[in-house]
Amino acid sequence: MNKVGSIEVITGPMFAGKTEELIRRVKRLEYAHKNVVLFKPQIDDRYEKSYIVSHNQKKALCVSLKTSQEMLNYVNEETDAVVIDEFQFLDEDAVDIAVYFKRKGKRVIVSGLDRDFRGEPFNNMPNIFAYADTILKLTAICVCCGNDATCTQRIINGRPANYNDPQILVGASETYEARCAACHTVVGKKYKYE
């Protein structure tokens, strides 16, 4: 009988608990004696190189990737689950590789930001959503008003970032805040309907 694979996506803004939820699922798989391989992109060096680490310091040992194709070297017939944190930072092959693992009967669990600091879809995330069997969209708490936060606010020198700033700037609470849509600000962003 063929094993049926799946793709699960955990998404939302920064400080919503995405990595914590990812680690929770990993612990359940390990408790069930499943063979799990964890990955994160090398660019995510905020805490530790060889660990997926949540903002509240929960962590799990992982392989740090330069390219998504490196995952193919670590996943084999005995692998039950493939877990990938910070999926938005991986290259365009990441989606095809996740789908390949699903077709091979693997449980693929992915976490990543759905939108960048500009409030726009983040790299390959919309594509993995299209292939996902389940999507869990988490919210944080807006630091300005206390409502549910769905946006990631980048702060530069105490002020909201400019739309033309680079899309990727790895950081944590020193650079980013969770905000609701009403409190989220991007200097210089042009909206189609205003």
Which residues are catalytic, by number?
A: 86
Task: With beta carbons less than 8 A apart as the criterion, state whether 44 and 170 touch.
Answer: yes
